[in-house]
């Protein structure tokens, strides 16, 4: 296995920064870069800066998990906040909610604070894409920021990530216990209807907060701003629709477990859609 290039590019004085999201992949990557993965100790960097771009709309479990990760790493995680929060940008964008096609949230609340923090110096940014993922990710394109993918370099896939988290004692983020797949904002539009319903059951107040951001103006077809492309969140409160979604979500989870077991026993790779690479979406 090739060790990471300690002097990335031509600049030996580059800063090395790693954004954690509070999710499993970036946490496993942080443990790898802290030299906590047996057999992969050559990845260790003592000069790594650990960052977290805090949108202040995160799940409580994310903060709790980051505090435990910080203890495991033995290094401080610096929290970066955008100068202006979600509500400010929501107004600037005329009430238009972010979506996979228009991710102003990632740009304004994650990328901009990160770019402002690192400034114009040469920087190596470490991103948590796994070896079994084929997506590119939403990353900074500033010329002074070079990107590395340590999990890919080390050949670490989904199964490897789980192993790292178990071996370290950190385990999986606790929001996964109630059905949320990824870290990120409570109202992230990447959630499935199943995850929205589980959010409603777990944090009804946060679900209601998300509902208040939606705009359904019957007189203006251009003013239909909803988190889900299939309709407003109130639809999910219909008991029939809710039960259908919960049932289909449980079936899909059983299929995923079956697939994971097949991959564990056969060594096949898996791929999953995850959220911004700064918020793992």
Interface with ligand SF4 (CB under 6 A):
55, 98, 103, 105-106, 109-110, 184-185, 188, 190, 275-276, 279, 281
For residue 26, the minimal CB distance to ligand SF4 (Å) is 13
CB of 269 to ligand SF4, least distance (A): 25
CB of 109 to ligand SF4, least distance (A): 5
- Compute the least distance from the CB of residue 257 to ligand SF4, in Å: 25
Q: How many Å is the Cα radius of gyration of the chain? A: 19
- Token digits for 22? 């509070």
Residues constituting the chain: 281
Q: Which is nearer to ligand SF4, 108 or 236 (CB)?
A: 108
Q: Write down the least CB distance from residue 95 to ligand SF4, Å.
A: 15
Q: Please say which residue, 85 or 122, places its beta carbon nearer to ligand SF4.
A: 85
**Number of C-alpha atoms within 13 angstroms, CB side, residue 93?**
19
Q: In terms of CB distance, is 15 or 57 closer to ligand SF4?
A: 57
Q: Which residue, 110 or 180, is less far from ligand SF4 as judged by CB?
A: 110
Which tokens hold the place of 24?
A: 């499993």
Q: Determine the Cα angle at 95 with ends 91 and 97, to 5°.
A: 115
Taking the least distance from each CB to ligand SF4, the nearer of 40 and 106 is 106
Q: Closest CB to ligand SF4 among 37 and 279?
A: 279
Give dist(CA 30, CA 119) in Å, integer: 22
Pick the closer one to ligand SF4 by CB: 18 or 188: 188
Taking the complex as a whole, the smallest distance from the CB of residue 278 to ligand SF4 amounts, in Å, to 7
With respect to ligand SF4, which residue has the nearer C-beta, 20 or 105? 105
Shortest reach from residue 227's CB to ligand SF4, in Å: 9
User: At closest approach, how far in Å is the CB of 186 from ligand SF4?
Assistant: 9
Q: Residue with CB nearest ligand SF4?
A: 184
């Amino acid at each position: 296995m090739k060790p990471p290039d300690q002097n990335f590019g031509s600049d030996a004085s580059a800063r090395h920064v790693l954004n954690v999201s509070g999710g499993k992949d970036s946490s496993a990557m942080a443990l790898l870069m802290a030299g906590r993965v047996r057999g992969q100790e050559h990845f260790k960097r003592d000069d790594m800066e650990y960052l977290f771009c805090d949108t202040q709309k995160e799940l409580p479990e994310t903060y709790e998990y980051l505090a435990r990760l910080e203890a495991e790493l033995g290094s401080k995680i610096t929290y970066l906040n955008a100068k202006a929060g979600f509500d400010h940008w929501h107004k600037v964008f005329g009430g238009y909610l972010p979506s996979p096609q228009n991710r102003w949230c990632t740009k304004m609340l994650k990328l901009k604070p990160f770019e402002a923090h690192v400034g114009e110096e040469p920087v190596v940014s470490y991103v948590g894409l796994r070896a079994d993922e084929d997506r590119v990710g939403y990353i900074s394109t500033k010329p002074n920021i070079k990107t590395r993918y340590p999990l890919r370099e080390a050949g670490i896939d989904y199964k490897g990530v789980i192993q790292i988290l178990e071996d370290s004692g950190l385990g999986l983020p606790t929001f996964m216990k109630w059905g949320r797949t990824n870290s990120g904002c409570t109202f992230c539009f990447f959630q499935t209807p199943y995850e929205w319903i589980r959010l409603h059951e777990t944090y009804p107040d946060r679900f209601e907060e998300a509902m208040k951001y939606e705009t359904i103006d019957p007189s203006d077809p251009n003013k239909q701003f909803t988190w889900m492309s299939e309709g407003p969140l109130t639809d999910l409160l219909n008991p029939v629709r809710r039960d259908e979604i919960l049932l289909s979500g449980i079936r899909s989870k059983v299929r995923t477990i079956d697939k994971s077991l097949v991959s564990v026993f056969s060594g096949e790779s898996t791929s999953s859609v995850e959220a911004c690479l700064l918020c793992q979406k």
